[in-house]
Amino acid sequence: MKDKIYTLYWRTGERELVRGRNPAEAMTLAGYSSGAVGALDFYSEGEDKDYTWDAATRQWKSAKVAAAIAQLAASGEKPKCDGEA
């Protein structure tokens, strides 16, 4: 199986690329033990740059979601829930 690239998003606001057959192997090959998972916020397959760190809230924010919200706000449309006409 070919190695894949994973983007790790840490709870400290740092982003890191690692490589392995799966996320667990990629972290191990990068030198992390199983205890490091607790400091990981989430990971994404590939070289992902969709998220930015918000230092005020100490959270990762999705650029795609922010753009969709801004577009909806600019359109003046009311958001619809699934199944709503």
Q: Is residue 10 part of a domain?
A: yes
Helix, strand, or coil here: 30? coil
pLDDT tens digits, residue range 35-50?
Answer: 999 999 999 999 999 9
How many domains would you assign to the chain?
Answer: 1
Residue 60 is given by DSSP the state: E
pTM for this structure? Answer: 0.76
User: 82 lies in a domain?
Assistant: no
Does residue 31 belong to any structural domain of this protein? yes
Domain membership of residue 33 as a residue range: 4-75
Q: Is residue 36 part of a domain?
A: yes
Whether residue 84 lies inside any domain: the answer is: no
Cα(16)–Cα(30) distance, integer angstroms: 10
Classify residue 30: in a domain, yes or no: yes
Output the pLDDT for position 31: 97
- Domain membership of residue 49 (yes or no) is yes
- Is residue 58 one of the residues assigned to a domain? yes
